[in-house]
Amino acid sequence: MSFDLQKIFESKRALRRNLAARPIAEKLAMLDAMRERELAIRGRAVHSASGVLREEPAPYRTGGRGKK
């Protein structure tokens, strides 16, 4: 397997152009699907009866080693 950086960069540009050209509704549906997969991987997926995905906020550390 060879790593042709020009070919990799062109492939990434083509993918970005393809994604940018998609309708906003399709982009939002893709975002919802990615969020559901991410939550399932974390084991914290919570769904309400309405079918709307509800995500719990990430825990943040507020104490400890901060700037002095």
At 22-38, the pLDDT tens digits run: 999 999 999 999 999 99
- Give the pLDDT band (50/70/90) at residue 2: confident
Q: Which pTM was predicted? A: 0.49
Q: Which residues contact 36 (CB under 8 A, 6 or more apart)?
A: 45, 53
Amino acid identity of residue 58, one-letter, is A
